[in-house]
Structure 1
Amino acid sequence: MTAKTCVVTGSSSGIGRAIAERFGEEGHNVAVNYRSSREGAERTAAAVEAAGGSALIAQADVTDIEAVQRMGEKVHREFGSVDVLVNNAGINQDVKFTEMTHEEWDTVLDVHLDGAFHATQTFYDDLAASEEGRLINISSIIGKGGNFGQANYATAKAGMFGFTRTLALELAPKGSTANCVAPGFIATRMVEDLPEHIKDQIREDTPLGRLGTPEEIAEIVAFLASDRSSFITGEVIDANGGKDL
């Protein structure tokens, strides 16, 4: 298998870390992006290299276009052109809409949507020129169904769908693809910190009766990043245990 160069934003923990490590298992070069958790990024990079890949720690706040461009320059110096970009960076600031401040609205949309725009714009030419360019955006079940107290998060995640489908059309003449993964409730810190009775309710409402794992999402991303997915583009892949059935 030919090593690819992959950038995973927000990969110091959770789903991003699992994706980066999975790419490492395939022997890829992985740029481990983080905003503030250098220690977490170092753990991810160590896991990538232990799995058989090469890792580069790349700090950048994805809401800052100049920082993302500097990250791009660093990745190009170390690994060359990028084949796979995973827009995974995200945050939540949950509050009822009637109590939500403009700052809380902007902050969440900036990370998810401006962050995806900045990273994709930085690496677009690489993806278009790659023989197997892959843009993969990480959205959420919340983008489809909404959720109480998450108007900002739901809007941001829904925006990823339109962004993905448009980029799929624009990348298609180059032979590259863009797809989106919409996880359900995954056993990351964001979910694990919820009160136990809420987690019990989530499990009860999920036909498979459990939370998903970051590794399960990483497997889907690894497939979409591979040549096995070459005729799939513009799709939103649900991975939610059947919760929206």
Structure 2
Amino acid sequence: MPYTKIGGHYSQAFDAELQRVVDRLLQMTELTQQQLSDALAAFVNADYDLAEQVVTSDHKVNNFEVDIDELCVDILARRQPAASDLRLVLAILKSINDIERIGDRAKRLAKTLLEQKENTRPNQAQLNDIDMMGHRVLQMLQRASASFERMDATAALAVLREDKAIDQDYDRIVSQSIKTMSDDSSQVGVNMQLFIVARALERIGDHSRNVCQHVIFMCKGHNVAHFSDAELQQIVDTKRN
């Protein structure tokens, strides 16, 4: 889907440059979504080949970050954008950092499987909990990307609020793991794996939330990193002059 908010500049070349950098951001996010989906499937299904593929392809995400950063710096230097154009470029620069971190967390998830010792697999109920949390995180990332593509602050705010459910998933998994280890010390290794994976997923939720904050900044011109939900709602509901 094209980024319909771009256009109308005196220079069509400028329009094309902005469109290109947005397209690259969306491609980077799509790749990272696939990395996360594959890492989650690998861990839940003990697919070591797929986990290895996630680890070895992480450099593709890093290459996107470098490429997009260079494109943005070039636009800043040559075009000296202002107002909404400047906010767009800054939002992209901030977002690629979060998306690259999401790729790192997906790699960490895959490596957790590859580093497992024999006979230390979580049980099916534990894997189901991770799978449920992971799919919630993946959907949040997909919707955060969609809100950026549409430049939709209202959608970004709705996605941002989904992070609370992910935090609840994380707290539940950690609480259950602590209890399991307390009851049976032989389960320490297994539950440490669950800690690492759940933490990686929780952090991906945080980075997705950050992307939504960048969307709101891009649309409304406010840095909302430390705002309450009520303050965020007020900003999103306010029309810019």
Which TM-score applies when normalising by structure 2? Answer: 0.31
Structure number with the bigger relative contact order (C-alpha 8 A, sep ≥ 6) is 2
Structure number having the greater strand percentage: 1
Which TM-score applies when normalising by structure 1? Answer: 0.30
Structure number having the greater helix percentage: 2
